[in-house]
Amino acid sequence: MVRPSKSSSLPADPFPARIEPCLALLASEPPNGSDWAFEVKWDGYRLALHKEGDTIRILTRNGHDWTHRFPSIVKALAQLAAATAVIDGEAVVLDDQGRSDFNALQASLGGRGGKKVAGSQVVFYAFDLLYCDGRDLTGMALDERRHLLEHLIASRRDGIRLSEEVEADGPAFLAAACKLGLEGIIAKRRDRPYRSGRKGDWLKIKCVASETFLVVGYEPSTKVRGAIANLLLAARRGAELVYVGSVGTGFTFDQAVELKRSLDRLATTIPPVSLKRRSVVFVNPDLAAEIEFRAWTGDGKLRHPSFKGLRDSAERGEIFTLDERASDGRRSS
């Protein structure tokens, strides 16, 4: 691993308390060429693993400490050879076909806002190494960081696994991923350092669009007492919230009842978005929902949306933002 030479007088780089994650920009088509590396897009919780001697921390994308919730990952991290390390990756639960299942991950943690400790079925897929054995690696090119990560993770299967790089051209890999029922793929520039934020060095290309939106209200069911018929959704545009449509499919009867109970506690007489519609109950935008959809309509609404689940408050940084765009017109999340 990357260890300071015993004969070197260079001091170790400061161990980071936290590193803001590099975020993938949403693209409609995959890039191609040897300057891009490709991986599967995992559908789970983005985490950073911090190991500093015997001290281990697991941080969410927004910096919340969830160390106590992933004991199997803690155990695996403690066994890695590096004395110090910061590893970027995603915690997932796999279905019987080897695909990441966000709902199963949520259930393992007790649902949105749950406090359960995840079982051994949760696996951390490591895809970047940011610090190792006294050295800050963020200035290195991805290919160099990747080489060190592969050496560190090797063939470990108990709690921490390597997110494999796939040797393929972008369009062919996306087609194969979609055929297998995966969420999509990630493309990364091989020669770039690790840059926090959404700089375009990483791209995400999805088989079916799936984004996180704020719940700003609901329409009560006229058929089932005590349940919702539709959730009203909003995205961010600067400091404002913009209504992007409603979703009425994807939740079970029990979820429809529980959602109404949760939302009734958040009811407000002040609409969070500009919308005039009868029978709507507006709520404070404290809940975030993961929504699958096919496309955007011409007037900026979701086409054929379906409810996947509620995001934990620790992941509110995932809220879809309308005014973030790539320079070539690609929409980002």
- CATH code at position 260: 2.40.50.140
User: Do 63 and 122 belong to one domain?
Assistant: yes
Among residues 143, 175, 206, the one where a domain terminates is: 206
Q: What is the DSSP letter of 165?
A: P
At 280 the pLDDT is: 94
15 in any annotated domain: no
User: Do 178 and 270 belong to one domain?
Assistant: no
User: Do 69 and 195 belong to one domain?
Assistant: yes
Identify the domain containing residue 238 by its residue range: 209-318
At 85 the pLDDT is: 97
Tokens of 181: 């029922």
CA distance 119 to 17: 26
User: Do 224 and 159 belong to one domain?
Assistant: no
User: Do 44 and 165 belong to one domain?
Assistant: yes
The SS3 call for residue 60 is strand
Number of structural domains (the chain) is 2
Tokens of 145: 């960081």
Report in angstroms the alpha-carbon separations of 252 from 227, 229, 249, 302. 10, 11, 9, 21
The phi and psi torsions of 128 (rounded to 5 degrees) equal -160, 150
Global pTM reads: 0.73
CA distance 279 to 230: 11
Among residues 158, 185, 206, the one where a domain terminates is: 206
At 9 the pLDDT is: 59
8 in any annotated domain: no
14 in any annotated domain: no
CB 61 within 8 A of CB 76: no
Asked if 301 is an active-site residue, the reply is no
Residues 6+ apart with CB under 8 A from 212: 288, 289, 290, 291, 311, 315, 318, 319, 320, 333
327 in any annotated domain: no
User: Do 269 and 202 belong to one domain?
Assistant: no
Among residues 188, 206, 224, the one where a domain terminates is: 206
86 in any annotated domain: yes
User: Do 96 and 202 belong to one domain?
Assistant: yes
User: Do 133 and 232 belong to one domain?
Assistant: no
User: Do 43 and 183 belong to one domain?
Assistant: yes
Active-site residue among 41, 51, 188, 260? Answer: 41
Q: State the maximum Cα–Cα separation within the chain, in Å, rounded to a whole number.
A: 76
251 in any annotated domain: yes
The torsion angle over the Cα atoms of residues 85, 87, 93 and 94, rounded to 10 degrees, is: -110
pLDDT tens per residue across all 333 residues of the chain: 655 444 455 789 999 999 999 999 988 899 999 999 999 999 899 999 999 999 999 999 989 999 999 999 999 999 999 999 999 999 999 998 889 988 888 888 876 555 678 878 899 999 999 999 999 999 999 999 999 999 999 756 679 999 999 988 999 999 999 999 898 999 999 999 999 998 999 999 988 888 899 999 999 998 888 999 999 999 999 889 999 999 999 999 999 999 999 999 999 999 999 888 888 999 999 999 999 987 788 888 998 899 998 887 655 567 888 864 333 333 333
6 in any annotated domain: no
20 in any annotated domain: no
Report in angstroms the alpha-carbon separations of 315 from 40, 212, 240. 21, 9, 19
User: Do 182 and 301 belong to one domain?
Assistant: no
The SS3 call for residue 254 is helix
CATH code assigned at 137: 3.30.470.30
The C-alpha angle with vertex 192 and arms to 9 and 167, in degrees rounded to 5, equals 115
User: Do 153 and 220 belong to one domain?
Assistant: no
Alpha helices in the chain (DSSP H): 71-78, 102-108, 142-153, 170-179, 253-264
User: Do 297 and 193 belong to one domain?
Assistant: no
CB 120 within 8 A of CB 70: no
